[in-house]
Structure 1
Amino acid sequence: METIAEPTTETAPFAGGRLLIVDDDAAFGQRLARAMEKRGFVTEVAESAYDAAVLADRNPPDYAVVDMRLGDGNGLDVVERLRRKKPDAKAVILTGYGNIATAVTAVKLGAVDYLSKPADADDVFAALTRESADHPAPPENPMSADRVRWEHIQRVYEMCDRNVSETARRLNMHRRTLQRILAKRAPR
């Protein structure tokens, strides 16, 4: 279960702005909405690409936080539609399945940032309110290359319904090598 941080004392009050949160995980969407309301946003939550399109067409928001993978579509389509309706809107993509190609596509379609789940509400707030000339600070404790590799393997393994043979085929690695990797603890 993902947790949403309360506003820190360092967070300055934010005056206004309508925020659309699009995530098919209803509980996460509601927690993020409450956290962002405490930071000064007026929020609306949509659980599907269709609902987000209806809300964006009716009254385009100033800001959006959009999950990459939705039950009925792709978050990139939501960002693109929002940018057509309101070109100055700021959108952030959230995803548990990040890769460089989709991050580049998200930015080309108008997203101001691309954050991995679980994302902290302070990180989402910072991404939405950051001036375009500001660059995010590098992470304090970035994942090691071994950890990134292990996370990727785990993600593909889960996507393949924990089928070792299918995962090995998709990762283009020997099945026994994959079994040894899966048997080990996660690297730091």
Structure 2
Amino acid sequence: MQKIILIDDDVRLTDVLSRRFAQTGDYHASAFKTAEEAMARADQVQHNVFGIFLDMMLEDSLGIDAIPALIAHFNPTHLVVMTGYASIATTVSAMKRGATDYVAKPVRFATLLRCLSDKPEIDEVQIKPMTPAQAEWEHIQKVLMENHGNVSRTAEQLGMHRRTLQRKLQKHAPVSHAIN
């Protein structure tokens, strides 16, 4: 049975995912609210784990900042970043830090299983150009990452009022135009 670590501050999500992974009969999942907690309680988990699912936005920190330490501590075969705030900038940042995959929430359980596969199925996808709203979202996310999440500095650089930027950030990312 393969060992999986789930790091997300949403306890309901980790409870559901733990049960779903256990139901496959192939995985045993341990859930933690922070990367630090997972590493501190490593006695519950083997140091060589098969996969880690890491939320990008944890309560008090950016999950992607913990990627190098998690890799050094657990030596996972797969490290998948999950986020409700997907953007090209955060994807690139996660991959540069060592993530093997990146998925946007909400995500199907089958997609998570594919992330753990050495030979994931390749869906033929037809991609349309980004909409202006998607391009704006990507640009905002890139500038926000460059400013280490500082909303005031980001708003100033983008030439918009801080409240306007906060409203844009509270909205979900524009939907993708990929057709499955």
Q: What TM-score comes out, normalization by structure 1 length?
A: 0.63
Cα offset, 1:88, TM superposition: 4.7
8 Å Cα contact 1:52/1:78 also seen in 2: no
In the alignment, what sits opposite 1:49? Answer: 35
Change (3 A) 1:55 1:146: farther
User: Percent identity of the aligned residues?
Assistant: 25
Cα offset, 1:97, TM superposition: 1.2
Query: Letter of the aligned partner of 1:125 in structure 2?
Result: L
In the alignment, what sits opposite 1:78? Answer: 66
CA distance in 2, matches of 1:75, 1:23: 9
In the alignment, what sits opposite 1:59? Answer: 46
Change (3 A) 1:136 1:107: farther
**2:75 pairs with 1:87:** yes
Determine helix, strand or coil for the equivalent of 1:71.
coil
**2:129 pairs with 1:129:** no
CA distance in 1, matches of 2:37, 2:113: 23
Out of 59, 70, 85, the position equivalent to 1:97 is 85
Greater Cα offset, 95-104 or 77-86: 77-86
Give unmatched runs, 5+ long, in structure 1. 1-15, 157-165
The CA deviation string for residues 24-69 of structure 1, in whole angstroms up to 9 with x for no partner, is: 0100111111111122211100012321222458632221101001
Cα offset, 1:172, TM superposition: 4.3
8 Å Cα contact 2:114/2:121 also seen in 1: no
Change (3 A) 1:99 1:85: same
Change (3 A) 1:68 1:56: farther
CA distance in 2, matches of 1:46, 1:93: 14
CA distance in 2, matches of 1:127, 1:136: 11
Equivalenced residues, count: 152
In the alignment, what sits opposite 1:29? Answer: 14
Alignment RMSD: 3.6
CA distance in 1, matches of 2:107, 2:130: 19
Q: What TM-score comes out, normalization by structure 2 length?
A: 0.66
CA distance in 2, matches of 1:26, 1:70: 12
Change (3 A) 1:136 1:110: farther
